[in-house]
Structure 1
Amino acid sequence: MTLACERETLKLALLAQAGLSDAERYPLPGDASTRRYERIIARDGRRFMLMDQPPAFESQPCDPAWSAEERHAQGWNAIARLSAGRIEAFVAVAEHLNTLGLSAPAIPVLDVANGLALIEDFGDDLFARVIEQGADEEPLYLAAIEAMVTLHEAGLPPSILKGSAGDWPMLVYDAVALQGGADLFVEWLPKYDNRVAFDDAAIAEWRTAWAPVVKAGAEGASVMAHRDYHAENLIWLSGRTGGARVGMIDFQDAVIAHPSWDLHSLLQDARRDVSSALEAKALDHYFALRPSVDRAAFMASYAGLAALNEARIIGIFARLIARDDKPRYAQFLPRMWAHLNRNLQQPALASVAAWFDKYVPVEVRQ
């Protein structure tokens, strides 16, 4: 039996368990992950999403006890402290978010061992889509800030989330993960663009230049970060109030991180333009809701970690194009270069900017 046939048999069993054997099924387009979704519409009109994440498709998630060396030996999920798509991670984070009054999907039926879950369907009103259809983006982004503030004001999450599908550790987005993400740039950009090449000396200088940013990010880790908080992962739930109007998905890789992480993910988005005026208004809203935060110190880390994240994402997109033959990600590179170039103008990032001036020609950075 092929893997596709095996997965189909397992999905049919899950749907039968839920009383949905005769439901209509509509596969959704895939993304950059190994996870797939189907919309399930029951005969009585009830709607669900079927999440399919084969556990064998991913390397091992990070054991909290592993050293930096062990993490590098185990692979990318361990380095970056990704969940490896584990259903128990999704469930534990979803349940934690819901206890805070935020909106994560309910999960009525699970097959943890086989990586399957039937989850609440939040509909199609992704922030990015409703804005494309003419909705005013400002109320959506300010609501996303309010949801984020709820999460940040809750402070450190438990070190172990007790989920109904199993416990899941809340790990820190630490120096190994931050530097590992940045290093995707020097690893993969030359494989995508032959105008650049980085020898051992260049890579050593790269890590030295980023060291203060990495240190600040690791030491400032103090809140749960969604880690992929942007307009393609937020769904407008107009019937709810406050931060609960923001339906969250794709949060299974949540970690304890610097509070700026989700902010710059939202406001310096890879996939859509966010105006500088809206970014400023959203930041003002964040600091108004968190008056005890030292804005100047926070914004120094915001710029540095945003730049690091943009370098990381450029590396990821280069990998998706060069290794995985997904050329559509090239369309996002100019936007990421624009974000990165703007952040590199900050005086605190002078060493990083000097590295780019030395090793990455201006014509590449656009």
Structure 2
Amino acid sequence: MNFNFLDKLSPEYRNYKIERIKNGASKKLFFKISKGSDSFVCTDFNSDKLEYKNHLVVHRILSNIDISIPTLIEKNDDKLIIVSEDFGNLRYDKILKQQSIKDLLQYATDTLCIINKEINFNPTYTLPQYNIELFKNEIAELPQYYFSYNNIIDRIDSLNDEFFDIWIESFKQLNFNFKHFVHKDFNMNNLIFLPSREGHLKCGVIDYQNSFWGESSWDLFSLLEDSRIFFTDQYNAYFMNYFYSHSNQLISLKEFKLKYHLLNCSRQTRLLGRWVKLANELNQPWYLDFISTTKLRLQSSLAILQNNKLTKFYDKYIL
């Protein structure tokens, strides 16, 4: 397969060394090609042509602001392949014990502030816009996959109805503004530490093809409430206040935090179901190891929200 992939690239790369990069649950194929001091990352989007187009659209958007994203070296619209700058191996989730967590979060949060201030809502960009139907589809992964995993088999239909009724009521209590650029997967595993750069540019951002228009707090809780790896939350309040003060917010800090925590709860809810789904479909039970961290993140936001109906339901059936 590797040699076939090299044949898809420009002739100048044919004598490069090629190495497959693990892709986790992604259907895309990733390769690192290198020769001497030159190194690039190649992404094969043949599994999803739409993701290829989305990647290029978002790359054009992000290239117009002062943040670190990989330079696009080459693209092939027929073969659905992109060759990009290699940001190296210092992925945030791999270096938390070697680097200052607060510094890493600072670089990432400053990057989010720039994104929020510099990218204005533009309906001509071919990005989806979040809405209540997408919201319902996402949280549906919990009853679909997690209920059976958690041995919830009695009253399953009535519990499904109760689950959605509580969530939709909670959603409608807040006046969401889904007109902010959202990376969607601004997690530790999609951020690369670039020590040779300055300030916020030390945070390299990858895997942005699923971007959409949504709430401004989305990427912040994706960062601070990472479900795959548990790290201290002692800086969460600081960075919430910092982001609020350094981005274009037209709402009160209280409302900002309510939206942050409700959407974080919905995201952690979806992920509880997603981990079970991936473990079963990919026959990779290690995805279930993320459930404990996901529950901790969920409990933390539920405690702050003080939404009695949600808390009661989750305490009884989920946590």
TM-score, length-normalised on structure 1? 0.81
**1:349–1:110 CA distance, 2 compared to 1 (3 A):** same
SS in 2 for 1:275: coil
Matching residue of 1:331: 289
Report the Cα distance in structure 2 between the residues aligned to 1:190 and 1:110, rounded to whole angstroms.
43
Following superposition, the deviation at residue 322 of structure 1 comes to 2.3
- Matched residues in 1 for 2:91 and 2:17: separation? 22
Partner of 1:313: 271
Name the structure 2 match of 1:117: 82
Structure 1 residue 46 and structure 2 residue 38: aligned?
Answer: yes
The structure-2 alpha-carbon separation of the partners of 1:195 and 1:292, relative to structure 1 and needing over 3 Å to count, comes to: closer
Q: Which residue of 1 aligns with 2:234?
A: 277
In the TM superposition, what is the alpha-carbon distance from 1:102 to its structure 2 partner?
1.3
In the alignment, structure 1 residue 243 sits paired with structure 2 residue 235: no
* Change in CA separation of 1:347 and 1:94 when aligned onto 2, cut-off 3 Å: closer
Distance in 2, matches of 1:347 and 1:251, equals 29
CA distance in 2, matches of 1:147, 1:213: 30
Corresponding residue to 2:111 among 111, 131, 147: 147
Q: CA offset at residue 355 of structure 1?
A: 2.2
Which digits, 9 at most, give the CA deviation of each residue in 1:250-277, with x for residues without a partner? 1100000111111111101112223221
Deviations 1:291-319 (A, max 9, x none): 75521100011111110000011111010
Contact 2:275–2:291 under 8 Å retained in 1: yes
Q: Give the counterpart of 2:101 among 137, 157, 171.
A: 137
8 A Cα contact 1:317 1:333, kept in partner: yes
Q: Find the partner of 1:297 among 255, 267, 271.
A: 255
CA contact (8 A) 2:116 2:248 kept: no
Amino acid at match of 2:41: M
Give the 3-state SS of the residue equivalent to 2:270 in structure 1: helix
Distance 1:151 1:183 in 2: 30
CA distance in 2: counterparts of 1:177 and 1:227, whole angstroms: 13
User: Which AA in structure 1 matches 2:45?
Assistant: Q
SS for the counterpart of 2:13 is coil
**Counterpart check, 1:202 vs 2:189:** no
Aligned counterparts of 1:268 and 1:353: Cα–Cα separation in 2: 18
Given that residues 105 and 121 in structure 1 are in contact (C-alpha distance below 8 angstroms), is that contact kept between their aligned partners in structure 2? yes
Backbone CA RMSD of aligned residues: 2.2
C-alpha distance in 1, partners of 2:61/2:248? 25
1:160: how far off? 3.4
Distance 1:240 1:222 in 2: 31
What CA distance in whole angstroms lies between the structure 2 residues aligned with 1:219 and 1:45? 48
CA distance 1:343–1:292, change in 2 (3 Å) = closer
1:104 Cα offset (Å): 1.4
Q: 1:174 Cα shift?
A: 1.4
Residue 126 of structure 1: how far off its partner (Å): 0.9
- 2:20–2:31: 8 Å Cα contact kept in structure 1? yes
Q: Is 1:23 the equivalent of 2:16?
A: yes
Report if aligned partners of 1:172, 1:255 keep a CA contact under 8 Å in 2.
Answer: yes
- 1:86, distance to aligned residue in structure 2 (A): 1.8
Change beyond 3 A, Cα 1:291–1:223: closer
Structure 1: segments with no counterpart, 5+ residues = 59-83, 162-168
Instruction: Determine whether 1:93 maps to 2:58.
Output: yes
Deviation string 1:28-49 (CA, Å, 9 cap, x unpaired) is 112111112111102x421100
Kindly tell me: are residues 154 and 218 of structure 1, through their superposed partners in 2, closer, same or farther at Cα, counting changes over 3 Å? farther
**For residues 110 and 292 of structure 1, what CA distance do their matches in structure 2 show?**
37
Q: 1:183 to 1:252 in 2, by over 3 A?
A: same
8 A contact 1:39–1:50 mirrored in 2: yes
Give the residue type in structure 2 aligned to 1:13: D
Q: Matches of 1:20 and 1:323 in 2, distance apart?
A: 35
Residue number in structure 1 paired with 2:123: 159
Alpha-carbon shift at residue 212 of structure 1 (Å): 4.0
* Change beyond 3 A, Cα 1:157–1:8: farther
- Counterparts of 1:196 and 1:154 in 2: how far apart (Å)? 48
Report if aligned partners of 1:225, 1:255 keep a CA contact under 8 Å in 2.
Answer: yes
User: Which residues in structure 2 correspond to 1:11-90 (within 5 Å)?
Assistant: 11-15=5-9, 17=10, 19-42=12-35, 44-55=36-47, 58=48, 86-90=51-55
State how far apart, in whole Å, the 1-side matches of 2:173 and 2:45 are.
34
The whole-number CA distance in structure 2 between the counterparts of 1:257 and 1:184 is 20
Q: Please give the secondary structure, in 1, of the residue aligned with 2:82.
A: strand
Residues 85 and 233 from structure 1, CA distance in 2 versus in 1: closer, same or farther, beyond 3 angstroms?
farther
Contiguous gaps of at least 5 residues in structure 2: none
Q: Tell me, yes or no, if the aligned pair for 1:109 and 1:117 is still in contact at 8 Å.
A: yes
Answer yes or no: is the 8 Å Cα contact 2:176–2:259 preserved in 1. no
1:320: how far off?
A: 0.7
Q: Is contact 1:213-1:305 (8 Å) kept?
A: no
* Larger displacement relative to structure 2 (343-352 or 204-213): 343-352
1:190 CA displacement: 3.0
